[in-house]
C-alpha cells in the first residue's frame, strides 16, 4: 500500500514540476524556414544588405510598420510583391526603409526583402528528381493517342481483362443482360 502512495506522490511531483509544458516555448532560435543543420540564425538582416541599398518585397502581403514593431504588433499596411524601397538603417531583423512610390518611411522584416536587382537562379533538375502532376508549363506536351472510331483500343495498349464468370459481362466484353430478379412482395 505504501508503494502505491509513494508512486502516486512521485507522479504528482513530476506533473507539478512540468507546469510549463502547456505554455508556448519562448526560448531558442528555431526557424522552420532554414534548412536543417545550417546553423544560420535569422536574428539580424542579411549581411549583404546595408543602408543605401535598394531592395524589393519578395512576397505579397509584406508587413509594413510605421514604428519598429515590438512583440505581436499589427502591421499598418501590407506591401505587394516587387514593391521597391531604399534601406535607411538595419535594426535587428527589421529594416527601416523608404518606399520609392510614396516616400513613406517604416519598417519591414528583413527576411521579406531582397536586393532589387537579384533574380532567382534557374532551377536545374537533379537526376534523382521525379515528375509531379501537373507538369510545369515549360514541359513538352505529348498528345494523347487517337481514338479508333470502331471502339478498339490504341495499338500497343494493355488488353482489358475479361472474366466470363463475372455477372454483367458477356464473353465478348460487351454488357450482358442480367437475369431478372423475382418481385418482392410488400
Give pLDDT tens digits for 49-94: 888 999 999 888 999 999 999 888 889 999 999 999 999 999 888 9
* 79 within domain boundaries: yes
* 73 within domain boundaries: yes
* Rounded CA separation 93/107 (Å): 10
Number of domains the chain contains:
1
Which domain does 77 fall in, by range? Answer: 54-115
pLDDT digits (tens, 9 = 90+) for 119-133: 766 767 777 777 666
Which one is predicted more confidently, 104 or 156?
Answer: 104
* 98 within domain boundaries: yes
* 136 within domain boundaries: no
DSSP label at 43? Answer: S
Average pLDDT over residues 101-126: 84
pLDDT digits (tens, 9 = 90+) for 34-61: 666 655 554 455 567 888 999 999 888 9
CATH of the domain at 99: 2.30.30.40
Amino acid at each position: 500500500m505504501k508503494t502505491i502512495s509513494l508512486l502516486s506522490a512521485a507522479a504528482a511531483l513530476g506533473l507539478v514540476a512540468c507546469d510549463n509544458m502547456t505554455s508556448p516555448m519562448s526560448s531558442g532560435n528555431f526557424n522552420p524556414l532554414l534548412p536543417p543543420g545550417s546553423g544560420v540564425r535569422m536574428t539580424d538582416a542579411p549581411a549583404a544588405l546595408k543602408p543605401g541599398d535598394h531592395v524589393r518585397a519578395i512576397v505579397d502581403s509584406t508587413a509594413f510598420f510605421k514604428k519598429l514593431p515590438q512583440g505581436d504588433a499589427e502591421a499598418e499596411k501590407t506591401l505587394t510583391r516587387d514593391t521597391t524601397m531604399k534601406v535607411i538603417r538595419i535594426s535587428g531583423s527589421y529594416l527601416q526603409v523608404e518606399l520609392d512610390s510614396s516616400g513613406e518611411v517604416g519598417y519591414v522584416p528583413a527576411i521579406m526583402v531582397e536586393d532589387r536587382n537579384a533574380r532567382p537562379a534557374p532551377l536545374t533538375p537533379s537526376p534523382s528528381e521525379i515528375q509531379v502532376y501537373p507538369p510545369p508549363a515549360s514541359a513538352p506536351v505529348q498528345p494523347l493517342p487517337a481514338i479508333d472510331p470502331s471502339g478498339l483500343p490504341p495499338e500497343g495498349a494493355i488488353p482489358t481483362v475479361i472474366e466470363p464468370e463475372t455477372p454483367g459481362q458477356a464473353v465478348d466484353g460487351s454488357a450482358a443482360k442480367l437475369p431478372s430478379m423475382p418481385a418482392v412482395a410488400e
